[in-house]
Each structure stands twice: as C-alpha cells, then as structure tokens.
Structure 1
C-alpha cells in the first residue's frame, strides 16, 4: 500500500470531518445556538454560496466548464439510483418512507461537502466546472424529490425556479457569455462573502446533525448509508470507465457522487412526510462516516489511475 497516497487521501477529507465535529462541539458548549445555526444556514443558502457560485461561473468560460457528457452521465446515474432504491423497498407499505429512503440514497451534499472536496483536491480552478455540474444536478435533485415526496404541481416549479443557487449560476452564465460584470467593488465584496461559505456551512451542518433517535431506524439508516457512501459510488465509477472521462472529471464525479446525504433531504422529508427523524439519522450517520469512505475511494482512484 502506498502510504503517501493514503495520507494524501485523508488530508483531503479529515479537515471536513474536523470542522463538522467542531460545529457539534460548539453546539454542545452552547457557543452556537439553534438560532445561530438557522441564521447561518439561511446566510449560506441565500447569500454566501450564491456569491461563490456566481463568481466561479462568471469568471470562467462556459465552453471550458460545460461538460455535457459528464453531466448527462451523472443525470442518468441519479435516475437509475432512484429507480433501483425505490424498487428495492417496493414491499415497504408506506410510500412516504420509501420516498424518504430513495431521496437519502441519491441526494448528496454536493453544494457544501462536494465543492469543498473538489477545491481541496483539484484547486479553485475546478469550481467553475463544479458549479455548472451542480446547477444541472440541483435542478434534477429537487424535481425528483418532489416526485418522491409529494404531488407535483406548478407551485413547486416556481419554488425551484426561485432557488438562489440556480439563480446565481444562471446569472453567472449570462455574465460569462456576455462579458457584462458588476463593478469591481461588488465583485470584491462578493468574494469576501463567498469565502464564508465552506467554514460557516460546515460548522452549521455539524451543529445541526441529530443523533438522539438513531436506535429507532438504525437498520434503514445503516442500509442507506452503505448505499450512499459505498455501493452507489463504486457502481457509478465502474460504469463511468467506458466513457473515457479524464482524471479531473472522474475525480469531480467521485466527490459529488460519494458526498454524504444532504441536509436538504431532511428539510424536505420533515416538511412533506412524517419520516423526518429517519432522514436526520441518515444525514448524521453518512456525514460522520463519509470522510473515511471518501478517503478510501479517492485512494483507490489514485491506485487505478483514475484521479
């Protein structure tokens, strides 16, 4: 075993776990309150992350960052994942619970952990391509979640269209293609706000994870965590081999696919079903375990020359 590769893989993922654990510890010490977490998540979702995404899309060429084969592959892989998990739990009489399990299996925390991993492994230059990837998959994730958890209607479409992440990426695409940019003072201010994203989001995520009721649904939580962190990334990367993606693309794809279940899965499940606790447990368990599974997966990508 190449010890240097192992250490390098953990150097990518362990800082993420460290900040997450700090968030939980700060919450335990009451240095972070529920109000802080709520406000912090709102600030990240509505302001700092959109600023980060806008800048990385607008300051990079669309032709360089738009990888339709990779995005198309990711879309198909996501749909296949949802169908397989849904069919696997077809005997589950509660369609709401079946929908929650399927959502937790495909919906990764790409916007926070996925982007953080991509930046650490590939540098800031990858963020433009990652933002375009994120735009397409964010829209798909929301549409599938609506189909799984509730009745599809026009109001949901309007809600998705108002998503700040999607809006910021669309504006970034317009700026990139038209060469129309805000004044430099605005860009600099947005850059400052964008730098808040990763540390603040990770602290809030760590502080918001829920462990108390894990015993209630531990079998389903463990099963979906296994699917999300091990089986799905393994099968996805295996299926990607014939397409001949380069090392940068396979690394980006791996980090996005292997990211733990997103907190948004808990938010939607809690609002639309009676199984919010189940989704919270999956988010918590997958987030705790993911730095280790991602490090091992990244090491294997290196060994097999795919990263």
Structure 2
C-alpha cells in the first residue's frame, strides 16, 4: 500500500505542483494576463504540436501498434459522446449549457496533462503509447467538439452559417497537424527501412536536438500557464451544472473507461503503458480548448471555463486515487 501511495505521488504531484506554481505566480502578479495569453498561444500553436510530432516519431514501428488498444480508446470516447448527449439533454433544457456539459464528459485535457501523465507513469513506453493514441484521439476530440457545439449552442442560426469555417479550423488545428506530420514522417522512415536507406530524421542532429529542446519546454510551460489562467469564481447560477459536470468527468468517466479496459485487459493484450495512456484519455480534467471553442460557437463559455477549473482541481485527487488502485492491482 505504501509503495502504491509513493508511486502515485511521484507520478501525479510534479504535474499538480506546476499547476499550483502557475496559480501562485499569477496571484503574486508575476504572470500577467497578456503573458498568459501569449503563453497559451505559444503552447497551442508551437510547443504542443512539436511534442506530439516527437512522440509519434519515436514509435518504433507502426506494425507494432496494438490496434485493439487504439480502437478501444477512440470507440469509448465516441460512446461517451453519444451517452453524454442523452444524459445532458435530460439534465438541462438550456442548449448553450448542454453544449458545454457534453464536451466536459468526453473531452479530456489529453495533450497538456494526459501525455505528460502517461510518460510519468510508464516512462518512454508510456510516452510512445500516448503518442500513438494522440494521432487518433486529438482529431476525434476536435471533430466531436465541433459537432456538439453546432447542434447545441445559444446562437444556432449564426453557427450554421459558420460550419464550413469551423471545420476548416479543425483541419488547420495545430495539434492535428503535429500528429499527422509525425505519422507522415514515421511512414517515410518505414519506407526507408524497407528499401535499405539508412537516413533518419535524427541524423540531422541540429534539427532533431532543436525539436527535442522545444518538446522539453512544452509540459512545464503548459502546466504553469494552465494554473495561471485559473479563476475560482463563485457562480451561483451554475452551481448545479458545475457539480454535475465535475462529478461525471472526474468520477463516472474514469470508472467506466478504466474499469471496462480492465475487464478487457487480456482480450486486448493491454499492458501498463496502455493503461497509462487511458489515464490521460479518461481521468484527466476537461480540455482548456473546450472553453475556447464554447465561446467561439455560442455555448455557455462561463460554464465551460468553470468546468475546466473545477475538474482540474478535483482530478488532482481522483487521478491520485486511480493511479494508487492500478498500482495495487499490478497494472503499473
């Protein structure tokens, strides 16, 4: 039990402390709003795409990818999305709130917290498995997010007129570009292997080392900026929705997603690195991008923003519990 507790602490606390550091520095005036806005933009447009590219490129061989592992992750996200529509529509009649709540169910903060968590839990193998999942998970989250907010928003007429523009934005999403580029370069590398060409991207030492350096900046800066953007406001009119969304995201979704994966563990040949990745998919808080998209597409962005804050706060405890349990039963 002590071993499991220490393992969970070593994996989770470094992530939590960086978020806390960002919040404290913001409160002390060292991180200003303009700095946080620029930091958020830099992370989203440059650092995260490079990190995703590097993680995907480090996959040994595409043929070694556990297809069942990927299919379960994506299939579970889609099922959660469909279930969320039914549950959230029953919970509230407000379309704008429905859009924000539905996103909170299926859309995790996979890129900023999930991938670093997988690496922390299972080292290079965890990072590699998370990189594989990101190639499919990131586009799925974005596409389902668009579908959600096109259907459920407070300004339906305007959003229908902007659907083409919105989908173009999904295609141009830096996170999708990073993962797809990584897959393309990985595919070229496999062709080189089959044809006997010895050249690799890593042979261009200056470029490859630069990419690795950018990748190393990503996680700490992204987590500090995330903490700096927290605003704990008491929104009485949204208390019921915040409690509902937070409990579903941090308790119901992880228990269902991880629990079902445990039941199918032997059937799908799942190992520790796969569960480390599933922690990122199912157990991490709501994605920051969900609040940004909610504002742009007419959903309740105030609710979306509060769900990001409160699920992030509560998940620091729930993730610790899930990691401890998985360690006790021998997954990690």
Q: What is the TM-score when the length of structure 1 is the normalising length?
A: 0.93
CA distance in 2, matches of 1:71, 1:302: 22
* CA deviation profile, 1:37-93 (whole Å, cap 9, x unmatched): 111111111112222221222233242663321121112211221222221232422
Q: What does 1:190-201 align with in structure 2 at a 5 Å threshold?
A: 190-201=211-222
**1:51/1:90 Cα in 2 relative to 1: closer, same or farther (>3 Å)?**
closer
- Comparing 150-159 with 264-273, greater Cα deviation is found at 150-159
Q: CA deviation at 1:304?
A: 2.2
Please state if 1:242 is matched with 2:267.
no
1:177 equivalent to 2:187? Answer yes
Measure, in 2, the Cα distance between the counterparts of 1:55 and 1:69: 23
With normalisation by structure 2, the TM-score equals 0.87
Instruction: Give the unaligned 5+ runs of structure 1.
Output: none
1:206 aligns with 2:231: no
How far, CA to CA, are the matches of 1:290 and 1:204 in structure 2?
Answer: 18
Q: Hey, what does 2:104 align to over in structure 1? A: 104
Deviation at 1:140, TM superposition (A): 0.9
Instruction: Report 1:1-307 matches (<5 A).
Output: 2-63=1-62, 66-91=65-90, 92-150=92-150, 151=160, 153-179=163-189, 181=201, 183-240=204-261, 241-244=263-266, 245-307=270-332
Count of aligned pairs: 306
Distance 2:57 2:88 in 1: 42
Could you tell me whether the CA contact under 8 Å between 2:118 and 2:273 is conserved in 1?
no
In structure 2, C-alpha distance between the alignment counterparts of 1:234 and 1:271, rounded to whole Å? 31
Return closer, same or farther for 1:221/1:208 CA change in 2, 3 Å cut-off. Answer: same
1:159–1:40 distance in 2 versus 1, CA, 3 Å: same
For the 8 Å contact 2:125–2:273, the answer to whether it is kept is: no
- C-alpha contact 2:74 2:140 (8 A) present in aligned 1: yes
For residue 97 of structure 1, report the CA deviation from its aligned partner: 1.2
| TM superposition shift of 1:266 | 0.8
Aligned-pair Cα RMSD in Å? 1.8
Q: In 2, Cα distance between the equivalents of 1:157 and 1:62?
A: 31
1:185, distance to aligned residue in structure 2 (A): 0.8
**Structure 1: distance between partners of 2:296 and 2:186:** 37
Query: For the residues of structure 2 that align with 1:86 and 1:59, how far apart are their CA atoms?
Result: 36
* Structure 1 residues 285 and 78, CA gap change in structure 2 (3 angstroms): same
User: Offset of 1:155 from its aligned partner?
Assistant: 2.8
The 10-residue stretch of structure 1 (160-169 or 32-41) with the greater mean CA deviation from structure 2: 160-169
Give deviations 1:127-173, integer Å, cap 9, x for gaps.
Answer: 23212201211111111111111248333332111111221222222
- Where does the alignment leave 5 or more consecutive residues of structure 2 unmatched? 151-159, 190-199
| Structure-2 change in CA distance of 1:230 and 1:73 (3 Å) | same
Partners of 1:225 and 1:65 in 2: CA distance: 36
> Which segment is superposed worse, 251-260 or 84-93?
84-93
